């Protein structure tokens, strides 16, 4: 794992500065390549072939092509063998060199051959053409600036900001952020700085003209029917995916929670190795310690079950408070998630033992682990039942979502913050139309009314996973030079899961209108396919989620910080953006438990800290 940097002119000091800004991503080596038209930089975290032969930027033997690469190609040995049969010779054992010659042989079509995670730039020194690409699921980040005759790219925005560029606040992104709590690609919170969307590549020619192409997507292929065959395929692909991601010349561990996904990964690893390192994090004792440490305690039990070498870390509110600013700095973009600093502290402790970890990201989105999928599927059925709304009200359940049409309206009813809350504090440039317009244009030009739950999952894979979940996983692990791999997001498994009927994924254990936590059952087919790795105490627990005591922290140790950042005097550049009196009232009502406002308060706090770090210069 590494960082990649570059721009379309020659300036040694500047490319060195970009490398310096992203050195945490690749602490083992650093390099620069310069031509009259391009400057390329690289920082290396050595995972495959630890020798100097893996130094980047790497040139082809004929000097025609130069690559700076971040990621892992898990099937690179098979591709290497194919290239050797075509006459290519290799000086290293790295996957980077395989990618370089695969591009030389097949051009952009090489992307179809790769099984892995990556962000890459390849320069043709003869044509002066640059090729930029990002992996299918967006596991590795890639940003670029494009205005006038300047084109700049990097793994992180902070390196792009080393340039003297026009990068003011993007007010459309601001409106999206406070409603979704993150900004989906291609936008960022800066004007003129963009995220390259997952499964896309860009070509920049010597005249500076840019073309962007999508090279992979889920195609709504026909659903599979044979349940036993599906289970067999899921099991075979998951085993193969985990085995591929154990490829490393440095030790590999796994982030172990109390959930199904990381338990399955741990079980497969334990089957293949006598020594598995697992890592978990919990919170120091509070009056409600059991609630917040449920995953922590189950993970301990699972580690004993699989006889792993288990590493536990316990943190306090002070640990989070002391590292909050550093978290936001490493995230680059404001993403409001109170678990981010916990992620970073877990990664920081883990890197003392291993340099590669496997995580369970993607299992919920692929196999229906979230309540929102069950509720949406239930709504699809209930809308066909006369009197369903009355029945729900009789059971004391909200029926508001029953009135939503499939598409933008339904999606926002699950994901978007309540409009009256956002409008109560966001004043200048507040525009409630930005988000629905963006969602409509990006994801819902056509609506699958027959199976909107499937389209809902598609949208989460393209947006939520890439721009919130994976962005958080990448930035928080790479802040400490730790590589995180995600077996569930092998594109073959993603394609298979998309063809599994939602009825095989989602179910109810009891009353139709009962408590979801007690009666909703997700990931049914995954549970059945991988039952050999799932102890009863994991199978029988309700969907829990990974909580932190953040709402309590805001009432106690975080209160002074909150009062400071929710003040008009805190940050000059945001004085006219918010109604600070309304925000202070929201804080006081949360502290007194009159209302619960964690999302609102955390999103504003995150934005204020971010703005002061990146914009208020």
- List, for residues 53-111, the tens digit of each pLDDT value: 999 999 999 999 999 999 999 999 999 999 999 999 999 999 999 999 999 999 999 99
Tokens of 572: 């000059």
Average pLDDT in the 589-594 region? 97
User: Rounded to an integer, what is the distance from CA 384 to the centroid of its chain?
Assistant: 36
- The CA-CA-CA angle for residues 288, 291, 293, to 5°, reads 100
Give the C-alpha separation, 583 to 226, whole Å.
54
Which tokens is 351 given? 């890197």
- Residue 401: pLDDT above 90? no
DSSP 464: I
Instruction: Provide the b/e sequence for 410-448 (b: ≥16 CB within 10 Å).
Output: bbbbbbbbeeebbebbbeeebeeebbbebbeebbbeebe
Q: CA 42, CA 19: separation in Å to the nearest integer?
A: 6
Q: Active-site residues: which are they?
A: 2
Give residue 391's pLDDT band: very low, low, confident or very high (50, 70, 90).
low
What does the pLDDT read at residue 509?
63
Model pLDDT, residue 142: 98
Q: What is the pTM of this model?
A: 0.95
pLDDT digits 0-9 by tens, 204-247: 998 889 999 999 999 889 999 999 999 999 999 999 999 999 99
3-state per-residue secondary structure call for 251-316: CEEEECCCCHHHHHHHHHHHHHCCCCEEEEEEECCCCCHHHHCHHHHHHHHHHHHHCCEEEEEEEC
Neighbours of 543 (CB within 10 A): 17
pLDDT for 514:
45
Per the DSSP assignment, residues forming a β-bridge with 255 are 279
Nearest to 68 by CA among 54, 78, 76, 58: 58
pLDDT of residue 516: 42
Place of tokens 């499964």: 199
Q: Name the strand (E) or helix (H) holding 350.
A: helix 340-350
Structure tokens at 585: 């009232």
Distance CA 172, CA 48 (A): 41
pLDDT at 309: 97
Eight-state DSSP code of residue 468: I
Give the whole-angstrom CA distance, residue 529 versus residue 264: 10
Residues 271-284 have a mean pLDDT of 93
Segment 436-440 long-range contacts (CB within 8 Å, at least 24 positions apart) = 436/408, 436/409, 436/412, 438/172, 438/176, 438/184, 438/187, 439/408, 439/411, 439/412, 440/407, 440/408
pLDDT of residue 515: 44
Element (H, E) at 404: none
Query: pLDDT (tens digit, 9 = 90+) per residue, 2-39?
Result: 899 999 999 999 999 999 999 999 999 999 999 999 99
Dihedral sign for Cα 190, 193, 197, 198, please. Answer: negative
Q: Cα–Cα distance between 507 and 318 in angstroms, integer?
A: 41
Q: CA-CA distance, 327 to 339, in Å (whole number)?
A: 10
Q: Tell me the average pLDDT of the chain.
A: 93
pLDDT tens column, 468-525: 999 999 999 999 999 999 999 999 999 999 999 999 999 876 545 444 445 578 999 9
């Amino acid at each position: 794992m590494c960082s990649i940097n570059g721009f379309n002119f020659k300036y040694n000091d500047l490319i060195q500065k970009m490398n310096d800004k992203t050195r945490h991503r690749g602490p083992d080596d650093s390099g620069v390549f310069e031509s009259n038209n391009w400057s390329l930089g690289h920082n290396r975290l050595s995972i495959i072939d630890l020798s100097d032969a893996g130094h980047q930027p790497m040139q082809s033997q004929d000097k025609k092509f130069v690559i700076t690469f971040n990621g892992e190609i898990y099937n690179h040995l098979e591709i290497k063998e194919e290239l050797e049969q075509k006459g290519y010779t290799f000086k290293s054992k790295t996957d980077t060199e395989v990618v370089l010659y695969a591009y030389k042989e097949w051009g952009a079509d090489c992307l179809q051959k790769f099984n892995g995670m990556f962000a890459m730039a390849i320069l043709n020194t003869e044509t002066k053409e640059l090729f930029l690409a990002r992996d299918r699921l967006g596991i590795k980040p890639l940003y670029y600036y494009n205005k006038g005759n300047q084109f700049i790219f990097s793994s992180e925005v902070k390196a792009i900001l080393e340039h003297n560029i026009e990068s003011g606040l993007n007010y459309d992104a601001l409106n999206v952020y406070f409603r979704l709590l993150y900004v989906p690609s291609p936008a960022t919170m800066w004007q003129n700085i963009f995220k390259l969307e997952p499964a896309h590549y860009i070509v920049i020619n010597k005249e500076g003209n840019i073309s962007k192409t999508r090279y992979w997507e889920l195609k709504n292929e026909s659903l599979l029917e044979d349940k036993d065959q599906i289970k067999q395929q899921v099991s075979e692909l998951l085993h193969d995916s985990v085995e591929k991601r154990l490829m490393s010349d440095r030790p590999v561990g796994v982030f172990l929670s109390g959930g199904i996904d990381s338990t399955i990964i741990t079980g497969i690893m334990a089957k293949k190795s006598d020594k598995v390192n697992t890592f978990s994090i919990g919170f120091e004792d509070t009056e409600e310690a059991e609630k917040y440490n449920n995953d922590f305690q189950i993970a301990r039990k699972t580690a004993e079950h699989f006889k792993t070498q288990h590493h536990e870390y316990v943190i306090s509110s002070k640990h989070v408070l002391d590292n909050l600013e550093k978290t936001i700095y490493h995230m680059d973009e404001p993403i409001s998630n109170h678990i981010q600093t916990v992620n970073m502290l877990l990664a920081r402790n883990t890197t003392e033992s291993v340099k590669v970890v496997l995580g369970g990201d993607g299992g919920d989105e692929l196999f229906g682990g979230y309540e929102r999928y069950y509720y949406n599927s239930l709504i699809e059925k209930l809308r066909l039942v006369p009197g369903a709304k009355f029945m729900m009200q009789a059971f004391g359940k909200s029926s508001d979502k029953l009135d939503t049409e499939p598409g933008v309206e339904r999606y926002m009813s699950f994901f978007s913050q309540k409009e009256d809350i956002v409008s109560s504090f966001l004043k200048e440039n507040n525009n409630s139309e930005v988000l629905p317009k963006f969602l409509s244009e990006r994801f819902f030009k056509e609506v699958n009314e027959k199976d909107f739950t499937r389209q809902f999952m598609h949208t989460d894979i393209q947006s939520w996973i890439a721009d919130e979940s994976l962005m958080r996983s990448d930035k928080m692990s790479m802040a400490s030079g730790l590589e995180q791999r995600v077996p569930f997001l092998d594109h073959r498994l993603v394609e298979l899961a998309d063809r599994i009927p939602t009825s095989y994924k989602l179910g109810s254990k009891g009353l139709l209108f009962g408590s979801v936590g007690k009666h909703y059952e997700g990931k049914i087919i995954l549970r059945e396919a991988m039952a050999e790795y799932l102890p009863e105490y994991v199978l029988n627990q309700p969907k829990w989620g990974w909580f932190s005591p953040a709402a309590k922290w805001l009432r106690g140790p975080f209160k002074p910080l909150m009062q400071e950042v929710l003040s008009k005097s805190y940050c000059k550049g945001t004085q006219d953006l918010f109604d600070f009196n309304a925000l202070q009232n929201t804080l006081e009502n949360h502290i007194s438990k009159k209302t619960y406002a964690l999302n609102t308060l955390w999103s504003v706090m995150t934005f204020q800290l971010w703005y002061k770090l990146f914009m208020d210069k």
